Chains A and B, each alone.
Chain A
Amino acid sequence: MSETYARGGRESTGAGGFIIVAASLLAALLVLAGVIYALGTPARHRAALAQGGCEPSLSPAGVQCTTAQMLTKQYLAVMIPARQQLAADIAAYRTNQRGDLAAAQSALMAEVTSERAFDTSLAHITLPPAIAAIARALIRANEARATLTAKQAGSTSLTQLRSFNRRVDVASAAVQKEMKLIRTALASPAQAG
């Protein structure tokens, strides 16, 4: 009697056994497939980097995938507003350099503020070593220009004020040169200019 019951019990769990073994085998196959797939990760990673415009040489340490486009975007996000602000400050200076000392000085101090804000923002971008070196040079050149502009703003006459113009132009050229270098390194699109 009890054997009959036991046989019935085994039969009643047979379906469950089949289901769990089938599911388990499926899971084992999927895990195995996953492991095999994972072994190909490095090769796929390199291919994905290349196809996505990712340049491993541009990837800063700790950043998994930084494309040239991503770096350019970050750079432009800093550079474009700074450039617009600086253009407005320079226009204000040019308007007042021959007639209103106070307004010209104010415009120059605004230039200094804009330049230093740009330096600070640029320093916060994580760049690959080669571009970081250019960025540091750009920051130094910009800081030199800002220092000169601050001295210019301390002039006591319009003549003295204008006498700085040539030196400031030279400093600006140095800044432009570094900016051109960084844009080339990033292979930035036309709007960067």
Chain B
Amino acid sequence: MARTPVGRRAGHGPAADYYQPAPYDDGPAGYEPGPYPDVAVAPRPVKEPPSEPLKADRSRLDEWMEVTFKFGGSKIKRKAVALVILGAPALIPLFLMMPAYLTVNQNTISVSVDDTLGTGAALCLFACLLVTPMVTITGQRWFVPLRRWYGIMMGCCALGDAISAGITDNFAGGVFGRLAGHVFELMGLMMAGLVVPLLLTGNPWAQRKLGKYWKRLHSLIYVIWALLGAHLILLEGFGFQQGGTDNGSGFPGDGDPVFHQRLYQYGACSLFLLTLRLPPVKRWIVARQREGRNWLVYVTVAPLFVLFVFGFTFLVNEEFFKGIDSFTENPSSE
């Protein structure tokens, strides 16, 4: 007799597949090689099978997103419009640096590329890492392609930052000194180095060719995430600005140095992203959803999400504060 886990009905795949993208199902599922929740293969069932209304409710938005509408004589999916709207902001860091690159303004590039493209890379990384937790919580899949897009833009920003810093920074020791003369720079260089294979293999062709190794390779995104933490610890430290003088981390003068501490921003964003990736937590969420108590998931996750939004908002603030100065080629060194 075939061992059919209790709670899994005939014709249905593993329950967790609904919440966690299969590795190669839709191409853009890249950059998230996290293991399936154990519940997907675990023989331990829960008492109740997935309730039909819950599943129908989850897929409703996905179905709505699949609907096409006519625009200028061609049919466009609602999903495509939504993805473009959500994906376009990832271009902002490069857009803000573009005037300095086009005019070869070495002063602007030297002073503010770290902040504009570096912060942009961090924002894209967090946006990329946000996709899977959102799939886990909402059960919706229509925004999964954004994961690849944000990953690619993160890579472009990180490489742009590294190349520009290697050419224009003022550190001694030539290109190598500018890129690896300090330990925090070495972390940045390692991140940029790890981004390269991810960028090169972040396409369906490479995904097919690499097969099961593709997923392992793309686990490097977690190493990059950790290296970003190390980079910020070494760059910013754990302390924050005291008083009005520039004696620590965080922009002085506006009275909110704690909120401008980039390591704290990283921590605020990472707590949500990390917690929602832990297999026991994913099992717990799936179990509550099966019980039809998704409200409990939302209530429990809400403070984590609010904290994430808090950290992310100040990263965006940093991006625009420095980025607009870069765009006007009047770079801020604060």
> A residues within 8 Å of B by Cβ?
2-3, 5-6, 8-10, 12-13, 15-17, 19-21, 23-28, 30-31, 34, 37-38, 40-54, 64-65
B307 contacts A31, C-beta separation under 8 Å: yes
Known: A5-B45, A24-B303, A27-B272. A48 touches B284 (CB 8 A): no
* Chain B residues near A25 (CB-CB < 8 A): 303
Q: Are the C-beta atoms of A48 and B243 separated by less than 8 Å?
A: yes
Q: Closest approach, in angstroms, between the C-beta of B51 and any C-beta of chain A?
A: 15
Residue contact A27 to B307, C-beta cutoff 8 Å: yes
B141 interfacial contact with A, CB 8 Å: no
- Which residue of the partner chain B has the closest CB to A52? B244
- Nearest to A25 among chain B residues (CB) is B303
Instruction: Give the size of the chain B interface in residues (CB under 8 angstroms).
Output: 39
A27-B306, A37-B258, A64-B254 known; A13 and B244 CB under 8 Å? no
Asked whether, in the complex, the Cβ of A45 is within 8 Å of the Cβ of B306, the reply is no
Of B27-35, B193-201, B273-281, the segment with at least 4 beta carbons within 8 Å of chain A is: B273-281
- Looking across the interface, which residue of chain A has its beta carbon closest to that of B39? A12
Binding site for A on B (CB under 8 A): 6, 39, 42, 44-47, 243-245, 252-256, 258-259, 268, 271-272, 275, 278-285, 287-288, 300-304, 306-307, 310
B302 surroundings in chain A (CB, below 8 A) = 24
Taking a contact as CB atoms under 8 Å apart, the answer to whether B282 and A16 are in contact is yes
Residues in A neighbouring B306, C-beta threshold 8 A? 27, 31
Q: In whole angstroms, how far apart are the Cα atoms of A65 and B332 in the complex?
A: 13
Per a CB cutoff under 8 Å, which of A5, A19, A52 touches B44? A5
Assembly CA distance A2 to B5 (angstroms): 12
Q: Write the chain A residue with the least CB distance to B286.
A: A13
- 14 A-B pairs besides A12-B42, A64-B254 with CB distance below 8 A are A5-B44, A5-B45, A9-B45, A12-B283, A20-B281, A20-B304, A30-B307, A31-B307, A37-B259, A45-B254, A46-B255, A48-B254, A52-B253, A65-B253
**Are B275 and A28 within 8 A (Cβ)?**
no
Contact: B271 with A27, CB < 8 Å? yes
Which chain B residues lie closer than 8 Å to A31 at the CB level? 303, 306-307, 310
> How many angstroms from the CA of A15 to the CA of B307 in the assembled complex?
22
Known: A31-B303, A44-B255, A64-B254. A2 touches B285 (CB 8 A): no
B residues less than 8 Å from A2 (CB atoms)? 6, 47
Query: Contacts A41-B255, A44-B256, A65-B254 hold; do A24 and B301 have CB atoms under 8 A apart?
Result: yes
Q: Closest CB-CB distance, A73 to chain B, in whole Å?
A: 13
Instruction: Across the A-B interface, give the 4 residue pairs with the lowest CB-CB distance, nearest first.
Output: A16-B284, A51-B244, A52-B244, A45-B255
